[in-house]
A and B are shown apart, each in its own frame.
Chain A
């Protein structure tokens, strides 16, 4: 655990990418292979099992810290991270543990079969055995929230340097569902391991945005200057669904979401078409709610994500289909190095042969002869229930991760309203102890009605100023939430708007975020609920 705790500390001690890679390499070269795989699993978002319920851990930590519960909760709001809060509040210990990461994780997993009393005894003893930094990473393991500010790319880069295996190949080998208990370091670095696991997805190729926000709007001319001749590109609608990779291999089917969650069981509608595909086929596309041949807004699909059991009602109310736009493997062969146009041909052939054309759809190509023409077509995105258009270079290979160059997303400009901040809450992680999470309201007569929460969009300097304002203009405190003097006005951008029975305002926004701080607007000039509701009709509510 010493090495793992030190790894965390060293990563925290530098902001430089090269230094971080060096730190990761040092770790890899100094720990046993099983520790390497555990670290890799944790750093690539494979959450460890959590055999002890986090409320119990919290309660025992309060006991070990010898402070009242409310003070523990307040401390948590200051620190913004549960594992760290617990490690800071417990009495300092000068002990240090020589057990490896693998041994500690095995001990944690062994708690699954213990009684509550045994668990408590073990936990209290474990805490006493560790110094503060070790306790922090140990608590991280226990509570399973591993966001450390190191991207998969950096971890892969370090591993690539050490093993001599190229980064894209390594990225592929750590995809899919594996656990450090059943995937060894030797297997990872072996020459031909990809075929071993028929469920393994390819790394997704992600598009870069052409424009980040409405303020950086790009004209057709600018797009043309950046991308060259229009005839080198294919365009499709950008669908607003769940990005998924669909696999048929060895008679089995697998559906992966982009978060590398195996989601096969969540979409039974797709099973017949997938089962009918030839073995050795991998498709990339979007899963959407679909009814009467038309895509449904994302919020309909949202109602069935996260459900454990898909009832008949859900399947009837929000049926899904997939719009496929790429083929990564055909006849058992990895075809990612073929061109976009070649892959498109194969995809069209597969789709022609399917007996399930209502479910296995294909993303139709938008015909355009110039960027100006495409810019016009793009304006119809909302009517198409799309988020904008996708641009793919006809000669593009299918690459790994988010890359500039061959795939671009050209989203429609967000809808926006000017709203007044009325509540603020402290953030987490990097934003701990700062008021960064805000609730916004619009006018309904002479009352301000909350309609959206937003966390992102301001610069650090602006956040500091808002934080300063909140601390000096608090009207009321409700637990972690402060009611602030309604004064600051922000332009809130969002992708879509729908009716909602769950919100007081009667509406729900998709992807609300702060576009800018309207220093120029007094609160009286913020928008009204009626003006928001007007957007409902136009935008597929």
Chain B
């Protein structure tokens, strides 16, 4: 049998025919990027190909890079291999990468969620022979509620904090969760303030033509009394820092899929845990994989062992593969990922992106 179109190498997912990598973690010549999170978009490649809506965030995060962007559905051909992108619903600009050569189709999901969050273009199942999927929440204990229910809770919590005269800090990743929160807050309650790291990402997205609700960056001049009447969106790395403490007394809410488990929630010591993820839950994963009609599914990161076993038991042909993905949600448990590097004690950003 001929070599498979995509291979798993120690640099990332590789297409020998097209001579490109997808989300490589070591420097390569040609990298196709699913989305701008740090565990998928590494620094140091010669050429980048990504979705148009990832453009400004990639510049902001990686500086001067040689980047070409395309739209969903647009096709790029490299040495006879057709590369195209489809919405992954994970964050703004996230894409599944479809690769076709001589009638064989592979799809790399990157990270994805199947529920439409209203801001990241909704996930679209793509028919393929081989599907490379994440399974961050690939255990049946993870099952998400519709986001409207979660945001009712968030807004009620915010409202009662304002009434009790305490500040409200809501924590979520700077790309994805932060914008999802921002677009679903009830702005009749008050103003939205942002941590510098989050505001930088917001600005990058606005430069990219994304319309976001109004926000105000917190600076050393921000009035504590005014901020207390609003809500602060902050990255995970700010939890427990002097930056956050200066808004006290406050109630702090954490938005993450891990909040589904009591133990994980207690460990975070959040006042409120909101179960909200940018990854598919158990049922979402199973239905997404089923919808591809694939002959073989490869699980890259998450509860790969159990999920692979389960898929094989219910009739899929599933394999576990080793990658370095799983930085963003998984690292929430480990080191808080990329956010740490970006945050200076003042809450300002160390490195500004190219403009």
Task: With CB as the reference atom, state the residue of chain B lying closest to A428.
Answer: B263
Instruction: Tell me the A69-96 residues at the B interface (CB within 8 Å).
Output: 70-71, 74-75, 78-81, 84-85, 88-89, 92
A429 touches B143 (CB 8 A): no
- Say if the beta carbon of B260 comes within 8 Å of chain A: yes
Binding stretch for chain B, among A181-189, A301-309, A341-349, A430-438:
A430-438
Partner of A13, one of B140, B272, B305: B272
Partner of B306, one of A71, A88, A433, A460: A71
- Say if the beta carbon of A49 comes within 8 Å of chain B: no
- Say if the beta carbon of B262 comes within 8 Å of chain A: yes
- Say if the beta carbon of A224 comes within 8 Å of chain B: no
**CA–CA, A74 to B310, complex, Å?**
11
B272 touches A432 (CB 8 A): no
**CA–CA, A79 to B272, complex, Å?**
18
Instruction: Tell me the A46-82 residues at the B interface (CB within 8 Å).
Output: 65, 67-68, 70-71, 74-75, 78-81
A75 touches B333 (CB 8 A): no
Instruction: Say how far B328's CB is from chain A's closest CB, in angstroms.
Output: 15
- Say if the beta carbon of B1 comes within 8 Å of chain A: no
Partner of B139, one of A75, A84, A429, A430: A75
- Say if the beta carbon of A279 comes within 8 Å of chain B: no
**CA–CA, A88 to B259, complex, Å?**
13
Chain B interface: which size bin?
Answer: 20 to 34
B333 touches A429 (CB 8 A): no
Partner of A88, one of B260, B265, B334, B335: B260
A92 touches B143 (CB 8 A): yes
- Say if the beta carbon of A477 comes within 8 Å of chain B: yes
Partner of B141, one of A78, A431, A467: A78
Residues in B with CB closer than 8 Å to A369 are: none
- Say if the beta carbon of A12 comes within 8 Å of chain B: yes
**CA–CA, A430 to B139, complex, Å?**
19
**CA–CA, A79 to B260, complex, Å?**
9
B141 touches A89 (CB 8 A): yes
A468 touches B335 (CB 8 A): yes
**CA–CA, A407 to B157, complex, Å?**
44
Residues in B with CB closer than 8 Å to A428 are: 263
Instruction: Say how far A80's CB is from chain B's closest CB, in angstroms.
Output: 5
Instruction: Say how far B6's CB is from chain A's closest CB, in angstroms.
Output: 23
**CA–CA, A71 to B140, complex, Å?**
8
A88 touches B263 (CB 8 A): no
Task: With CB as the reference atom, state the residue of chain A lying closest to B310.
Answer: A71
Partner of A433, one of B143, B261, B334: B261
Task: With CB as the reference atom, state the residue of chain A lying closest to B262.
Answer: A84
A80 touches B271 (CB 8 A): no
Residues in A with CB closer than 8 Å to B141 are: 75, 78-79, 85, 88-89
User: B283-312: contact bitstring with A at CB < 8 Å (1 yes, 0 no)?
Assistant: 000000000000000000001011001100
Residues in A with CB closer than 8 Å to B305 are: 477
**CA–CA, A83 to B101, complex, Å?**
50
**CA–CA, A279 to B309, complex, Å?**
67
Instruction: Say how far A210's CB is from chain B's closest CB, in angstroms.
Output: 29
Partner of B140, one of A12, A65, A460, A468: A65
A434 touches B333 (CB 8 A): yes
Residues in B with CB closer than 8 Å to A12 are: 262, 265-266
Instruction: Tell me the A1-57 residues at the B interface (CB within 8 Å).
Output: 12-16
User: B301-329: contact bitstring with A at CB < 8 Å (1 yes, 0 no)?
Assistant: 00101100110010000000000000000
Residues in A with CB closer than 8 Å to B212 are: none
A430 touches B333 (CB 8 A): no
Check A467/B139 contact, CB under 8 A, given A12-B265, A74-B306, A431-B263.
Answer: no
Task: With CB as the reference atom, state the residue of chain A lying closest to B142.
Answer: A88
**CA–CA, A78 to B258, complex, Å?**
11
- Say if the beta carbon of A464 comes within 8 Å of chain B: yes
**CA–CA, A149 to B309, complex, Å?**
35
- Say if the beta carbon of B269 comes within 8 Å of chain A: yes
Residues in A with CB closer than 8 Å to B140 are: 65, 67, 71, 75, 88-89
Instruction: Say how far A186's CB is from chain B's closest CB, in angstroms.
Output: 35
Instruction: Say how far B80's CB is from chain A's closest CB, in angstroms.
Output: 37
- Say if the beta carbon of B102 comes within 8 Å of chain A: no
**CA–CA, A13 to B268, complex, Å?**
12
**CA–CA, A85 to B309, complex, Å?**
20
Instruction: Tell me the B248-278 residues at the A interface (CB within 8 Å).
Output: 260-267, 269, 271-272
Residues in B with CB closer than 8 Å to A67 are: 140
Task: With CB as the reference atom, state the residue of chain A lying closest to B331.
Answer: A468
A80 touches B263 (CB 8 A): yes
User: B98-136: contact bitstring with A at CB < 8 Å (1 yes, 0 no)?
Assistant: 000000000000000000000000000000000000000
A78 touches B262 (CB 8 A): no
Instruction: Say how far B161's CB is from chain A's closest CB, in angstroms.
Output: 12
Residues in A with CB closer than 8 Å to B267 are: 430-431, 434, 460
B271 touches A432 (CB 8 A): no
**CA–CA, A430 to B260, complex, Å?**
13
Instruction: Say how far B295's CB is from chain A's closest CB, in angstroms.
Output: 24
Check A14/B262 contact, CB under 8 A, given A71-B306, A79-B141, A468-B335.
Answer: no
Residues in B with CB closer than 8 Å to A432 are: 261-264
Residues in A with CB closer than 8 Å to B309 are: 70
Instruction: Say how far B303's CB is from chain A's closest CB, in angstroms.
Output: 7
User: B328-340: contact bitstring with A at CB < 8 Å (1 yes, 0 no)?
Assistant: 0000011100000
Task: With CB as the reference atom, state the residue of chain B lying closest to A68.
Answer: B313
User: A270-293: contact bitstring with B at CB < 8 Å (1 yes, 0 no)?
Assistant: 000000000000000000000000
Among B265, B267, B271: residue with most chain A CB under 10 A: B267
Instruction: Tell me the B170-202 residues at the A interface (CB within 8 Å).
Output: none
Task: With CB as the reference atom, state the residue of chain A lying closest to B265.
Answer: A12
**CA–CA, A74 to B309, complex, Å?**
11
Task: With CB as the reference atom, state the residue of chain B lying closest to A80.
Answer: B263
Residues in A with CB closer than 8 Å to B264 are: 432-433
Task: With CB as the reference atom, state the residue of chain B lying closest to A477.
Answer: B305
B143 touches A88 (CB 8 A): yes
Check A464/B334 contact, CB under 8 A, given A65-B140, A68-B313.
Answer: yes
Instruction: Say how far A6's CB is from chain B's closest CB, in angstroms.
Output: 14
**CA–CA, A12 to B253, complex, Å?**
12
Residues in A with CB closer than 8 Å to B143 are: 88, 92
**CA–CA, A20 to B333, complex, Å?**
26
Residues in B with CB closer than 8 Å to A468 are: 334-335
Residues in A with CB closer than 8 Å to B272 are: 13
**CA–CA, A84 to B310, complex, Å?**
21
Partner of A84, one of B261, B303, B313, B333: B261
Instruction: Say how far B39's CB is from chain A's closest CB, in angstroms.
Output: 13
Residues in B with CB closer than 8 Å to A89 are: 140-141
Residues in B with CB closer than 8 Å to A433 are: 261, 263-264, 333
Instruction: Say how far A341's CB is from chain B's closest CB, in angstroms.
Output: 44
B269 touches A15 (CB 8 A): yes
Partner of A467, one of B266, B303, B334: B334
**CA–CA, A179 to B266, complex, Å?**
30
Residues in A with CB closer than 8 Å to B335 are: 464, 468
Task: With CB as the reference atom, state the residue of chain B lying closest to A13.
Answer: B272
Instruction: Say how far A215's CB is from chain B's closest CB, in angstroms.
Output: 24
Residues in A with CB closer than 8 Å to B265 are: 12
User: A459-472: contact bitstring with B at CB < 8 Å (1 yes, 0 no)?
Assistant: 01000110110000
Check A429/B263 contact, CB under 8 A, given A78-B141, A88-B143.
Answer: yes
A149 touches B266 (CB 8 A): yes
Instruction: Tell me the A334-390 residues at the B interface (CB within 8 Å).
Output: none
7 examples of A-B residue contacts, CB within 8 angstroms: A12-B262, A16-B271, A79-B263, A80-B261, A88-B141, A88-B260, A464-B335
- 4 tightest A-B contacts by CB? A432-B263, A88-B141, A430-B266, A74-B306
Chain A residues in contact with chain B, CB under 8 A?
A: 12-16, 65, 67-68, 70-71, 74-75, 78-81, 84-85, 88-89, 92, 149, 428-434, 460, 464-465, 467-468, 477
Q: A74-B306, A79-B263 are in contact. List 20 more A-B contacts (CB 8 A).
A: A13-B272, A65-B140, A68-B310, A68-B313, A75-B140, A78-B139, A78-B141, A78-B261, A79-B261, A85-B141, A88-B260, A92-B143, A149-B266, A428-B263, A429-B262, A429-B263, A432-B261, A433-B333, A464-B335, A467-B334
